[in-house]
């Protein structure tokens, strides 16, 4: 029978092979399963082309159930609402609305049961129970009881599908692990489920004891026994060894699993994938049902062969074709070489899957099963009702936050430490205009376009100041904090904007790539780890203009800073000099350097600063004297040797060249050192040596050619 998820094009290609001489028979039973959806009601919108989202999951399952009829059942293994236990109170409050959206869709899809995971425990047992009861969705938890010993959720369920009686139960582990963000790969979140349940007035019973009790009670009543486990992969394997009469165990937390299916004796142990990106599909062919279902010694069922390779090859062909189709028209984006490499890779993968399929029989006979994870890619039709549920979720959470914002009132201006990008315009016009041209300046609009402007899970990366001192505490109070503003890289700017000495005091920061990685991670920007430097360059503001070319407002600010610093009980003459220099007041910067040198006569740093400031105002004897003091006491200081060379150039070219050679020997990668050596050689008549030296430097540092070209052009060709 034609497989629903394979396109007609692929079927035509596949059935031209010898493997299709014999039609693949209709299976007797199909289990559709999800797990670790992790609250991804839709893929993150930060990167195009991501798979998953409940609209595609729902579209796929709707089609499967229509095609398969009463042969199919749909079970979720938990962690549907969120990615682990959510600590953030705002996000946790919002999860009740998201949970309702999930339960509405899963119930409409005919989901027979959802296992209780730590994400649901984090939302709250009572909240989840109220939502499930309201929607009419069964939650499975075979080892959670209240203070009276009653089970708040179903211990197990019995279904009839494909002529079989099927029992399904779930167990929750005592400790559940979740990986931390990618940058901290080695560590895990470890959730103590006993403690978390106890805090809510519930008890977690030992899973091994409950497994034995449920299997003993439920097993004799059914033909096939399934555990939708929330124990974790290692404990799933242990459960299969302890209770071999369980026909299939499936669930998330698959950290040590090496594949989709692990056989423990005759029991398949299946894993679920992350973030709603895939739906599991296990089906049984039982041409000899009595041979499999009749109890042997100990009640263990008969042999069941793994026949997953055939379907895996079909899925591989489908995925390759889908990706190949998505590459159409993308040559300009990727560049011809990378685009061709991606295209050829998909062709090779398609051909490899096709070759595998040719070697596999469509009907190998015997009792067998197939299990595969199907990617929820763009070739799958989207469910309109699921999209409507997503819209309702956004509307409900927006209404909740707007109501809370009205109750809280606006944030007083005196408590705001983030003043907004517009506050930077007077002094940093060029930087502001550059920022307006980046996507950072429109980051909030991307949330508004999808009605997520109050989404607690998204807003932190599309604003500044969320849930920090001086910022805004809840999603609906983001007015004035929208977009990835200057403060996202440089920190809160209220102190900087206070005027006076604040302009020069440490306060503003430059987070660099580490700051970017907080949001540009995992599914938000999968390529950032490799391309972060390139991407950062595209949003890094142009440097502040040199003294004399800054705005009047910025010059005034620097003068205010210098004045404010001078009034302090212990003036910082270094910062005062920097402020005067930035305001294009070199004479005042020189006087500040003299004051610093008087205060710290033994400081070589103060001496070097005085020499530099003296050179800037043409006081060459003062510059030479102080540069000599520094080079005598610190002969490895390239900056001092370079300054000395420059100071002596017009009065003593020979000694200037000697100093320049010292500077260049210490720091041969500095283009300024290369320039003063070249000038010294030219000034002393060593033209050939100057030409050779300059060309050699440019050969090692081609990036310096533009800056040295004017000097090189002054040299005769020598030919």
Both 313 and 298 in one domain: the answer is no
The per-residue pLDDT for 188 is 55
Domain annotation covers residue 546: no
pLDDT band of 8, cuts 50, 70, 90 = very low
Both 491 and 606 in one domain: the answer is no
CATH number, residue 378? 3.60.21.10
Q: Which of 386, 421, 451 is the last residue of a domain?
A: 386
Both 230 and 84 in one domain: the answer is yes
The per-residue pLDDT for 77 is 95
Q: What single DSSP character describes residue 461?
A: G
* Pairing state between β 139-140 and 113-115: parallel
Say yes or no to pLDDT of 15 above 60: no
pLDDT in tens, 369-383: 999 988 888 778 889
The per-residue pLDDT for 63 is 93
pLDDT in tens, 287-324: 888 888 765 434 567 788 998 888 888 888 888 888 88
Domain annotation covers residue 397: no
Q: Which of 334, 352, 386 is the last residue of a domain?
A: 386
Mean pLDDT, range 418-446, rounded to an integer? 90
Domain annotation covers residue 554: no
- Residue position matching structure tokens 């279904």: 159
Say yes or no to pLDDT of 229 above 70: yes
Both 174 and 253 in one domain: the answer is yes
Least confident of 30-34, 80-84, 291-295: 291-295
The per-residue pLDDT for 300 is 60
Going by C-alpha positions, the residue among 138, 143, 145, 130 that lies closest to residue 106 is 138
The per-residue pLDDT for 668 is 92
Going by C-alpha positions, the residue among 372, 260, 316, 374 that lies closest to residue 14 is 316
Question: Residue 444 in contact with residue 472, Cβ under 8 Å?
Answer: no
Both 181 and 223 in one domain: the answer is yes
The total number of structural domains in the chain stands at 4
For the stretch 395-434, what's the b/e string if a residue is b when 16 or more beta carbons lie within 10 angstroms of its beta carbon?
A: ebbbebbeebbeeeeebeeeebbbbbbebbeebbeebbee
Coil/strand/helix, residue 10: helix
Least confident of 6-10, 337-341, 621-625, 680-684: 6-10
Q: Region of 225 please: left (phi>0), alpha (psi -120 to 50) or beta.
A: beta
**Euclidean distance between the first and the last CA atom of the chain, given in angstroms as a whole number:** 82
Which residues span the domain enclosing 382? 8-13+28-307+364-386
Question: Residue 45 in contact with residue 82, Cβ under 8 Å?
Answer: no
Say yes or no to pLDDT of 19 above 50: no
Domain annotation covers residue 555: no
Least confident of 35-49, 92-106, 635-649: 35-49
Both 603 and 477 in one domain: the answer is no
The per-residue pLDDT for 402 is 86
Domain annotation covers residue 556: no
Strands across the sheet containing 29-34: 139-140, 113-115, 72-76, 29-34, 278-285, 368-375, 305-306
* Residue 177 β-bridge partners: 190
Say yes or no to pLDDT of 157 above 90: yes
User: Under 8 Å CB-to-CB from 442, ≥6 apart: which residues?
Assistant: 483
Domain annotation covers residue 552: no
277 burial via Cβ count (<10 Å: 0-12, 13-18, 19+) = buried
DSSP string, 243-264: -TT--EEEES--TT--SSEEEE
pTM: predicted TM-score of the whole model, two decimal places: 0.73
Say yes or no to pLDDT of 511 above 70: yes
Instruction: State whether the Cα torsion 82-87-88-94 is positive or negative.
Output: positive
Both 614 and 650 in one domain: the answer is yes
Both 238 and 315 in one domain: the answer is no
Both 524 and 431 in one domain: the answer is yes
Residue 182's φ and ψ, nearest 5 degrees, are -50, -40
User: Can you tell me the distance from the alpha carbon of 155 to that of 465, in angstroms, rounded to the nearest whole number?
Assistant: 45
Mean pLDDT, range 606-611, rounded to an integer? 96
Both 340 and 439 in one domain: the answer is no
The per-residue pLDDT for 48 is 56
User: Beta-carbon neighbour count of residue 470 at 10 Å?
Assistant: 15
Mean pLDDT, range 237-249, rounded to an integer? 94
User: Can you tell me the distance from the alpha carbon of 152 to that of 362, in angstroms, rounded to the nearest whole number?
Assistant: 45
Domain annotation covers residue 637: yes
Domain annotation covers residue 405: no
pLDDT in tens, 512-542: 787 888 888 776 777 777 787 888 888 888 8
Average pLDDT, the chain: 86
The per-residue pLDDT for 96 is 87
Both 246 and 317 in one domain: the answer is no
User: Can you tell me the distance from the alpha carbon of 679 to that of 670, in angstroms, rounded to the nearest whole number?
Assistant: 15
Going by C-alpha positions, the residue among 539, 492, 493 that lies closest to residue 513 is 539
Instruction: Output 185 or 238, whichever has higher pLDDT.
Output: 238
Say yes or no to pLDDT of 167 above 90: yes
Question: Residue 651 in contact with residue 620, Cβ under 8 Å?
Answer: yes
pLDDT in tens, 123-150: 999 999 999 999 999 999 999 999 999 9
Least confident of 1-5, 106-110, 553-557: 1-5
Both 68 and 107 in one domain: the answer is yes
């Amino acid at each position: 029978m034609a497989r629903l998820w394979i396109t007609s094009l692929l079927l035509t290609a596949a059935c031209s092979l010898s493997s299709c001489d014999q039609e693949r028979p209709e299976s007797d039973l199909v289990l559709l399963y999800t797990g670790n959806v992790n609250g991804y009601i839709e893929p993150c919108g930060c990167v195009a082309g991501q798979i998953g989202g409940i609209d595609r999951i729902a579209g796929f399952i709707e089609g499967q159930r229509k095609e398969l009829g009463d042969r199919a059942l749909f079970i979720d293994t938990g962690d549907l609402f969120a990615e682990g236990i959510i600590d953030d109170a705002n996000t946790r409050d919002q999860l009740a609305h998201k949970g309702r959206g999930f339960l509405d869709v899963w119930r409409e899809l005919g989901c027979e049961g959802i296992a209780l995971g730590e994400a649901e425990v984090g939302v709250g047992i009572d909240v989840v129970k109220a939502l499930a009861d309201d929607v009419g969705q069964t939650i499975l938890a075979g080892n959670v009881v209240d203070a009276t010993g009653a089970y708040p959720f179903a211990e197990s369920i019995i279904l009839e599908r494909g002529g079989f009686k099927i029992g399904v139960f779930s167990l929750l582990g005592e400790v559940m692990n979740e990986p931390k963000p990618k940058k901290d790969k080695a560590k895990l979140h470890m959730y103590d489920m006993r403690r978390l349940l106890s805090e809510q007035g519930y008890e977690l019973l030992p899973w091994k004891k409950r497994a034995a009790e449920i299997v003993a009670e439920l097993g004799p009543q059914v033909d096939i026994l399934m555990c939708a486990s929330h124990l974790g992969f290692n404990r799933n394997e242990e459960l299969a060894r302890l209770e071999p009469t369980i026909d299939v165990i499936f669930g998330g937390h698959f950290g040590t699993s090496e594949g989709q299916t692990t056989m423990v004796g005759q029991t398949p142990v299946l894993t679920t994938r992350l973030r709603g990106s895939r739906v599991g599909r296990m089906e049984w062919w039982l041409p000899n049902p009595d041979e499999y279902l009749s109890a042997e010694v100990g009640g263990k069922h008969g042999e069941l062969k793994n026949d997953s390779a055939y379907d895996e090859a079909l899925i591989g062909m489908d995925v390759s074709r889908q990706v190949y189709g998505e590459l159409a028209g993308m040559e300009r984006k990727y560049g011809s070489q990378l685009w061709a490499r991606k295209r050829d890779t998909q062709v090779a993968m398609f051909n490899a899957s096709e070759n595998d399929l040719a070697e596999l029989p469509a009907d190998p006979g015997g009792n067998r099963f197939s299990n595969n994870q199907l990617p929820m890619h763009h070739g799958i039709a989207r469910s309109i009702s699921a999209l409507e549920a997503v819209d309702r979720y956004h509307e409900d959470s927006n209404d909740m936050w707007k109501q809370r914002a009205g109750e809280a009132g606006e944030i007083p201006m005196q408590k705001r430490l983030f003043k907004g990008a517009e506050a930077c315009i007077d002094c940093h016009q060029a930087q502001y205009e550059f920022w307006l041209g980046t996507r950072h300046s429109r980051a909030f609009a991307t949330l508004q376009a999808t009605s997520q402007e109050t989404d607690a899970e998204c807003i932190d990366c599309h604003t500044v100041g969320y849930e920090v001192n001086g910022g805004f505490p809840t999603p609906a109070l983001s007015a004035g904090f929208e977009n990835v503003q200057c403060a996202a890289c440089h920190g809160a700017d209220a102190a900087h904007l206070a005027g006076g000495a604040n302009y020069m005091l440490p306060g503003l920061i430059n987070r660099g790539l580490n700051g970017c990685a907080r949001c540009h991670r995992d599914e938000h920007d999968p390529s950032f780890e490799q391309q972060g430097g390139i991407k950062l360059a595209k949003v890094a503001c142009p440097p502040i203009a040199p003294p004399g070319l800054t705005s009047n407002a910025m010059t005034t600010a620097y003068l205010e800073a210098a004045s404010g610093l001078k009034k302090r009980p212990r003036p910082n003459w270094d910062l005062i000099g920097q402020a005067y220099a930035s305001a294009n007041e070199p004479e005042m910067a020189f006087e500040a350097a003299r004051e610093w040198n008087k205060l710290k006569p033994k400081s070589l740093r103060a001496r070097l600063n005085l020499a530099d400031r003296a050179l800037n105002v043409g006081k060459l004897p003062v510059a030479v004297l102080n540069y000599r003091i520094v080079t005598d006491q610190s002969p490895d200081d390239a900056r001092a040797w370079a300054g000395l060379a420059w100071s002596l150039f017009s009065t003593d070219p020979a000694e200037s060249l000697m100093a320049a050679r010292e500077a260049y020997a210490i720091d041969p990668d500095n283009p300024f050192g290369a320039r003063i050596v070249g000038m010294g050689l030219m000034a002393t008549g060593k033209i050939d040596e100057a030409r050779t030296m300059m060309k050699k430097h440019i050969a090692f540092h081609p990036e310096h050619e533009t800056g040295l070209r004017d000097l090189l052009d002054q040299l005769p060709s020598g030919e």
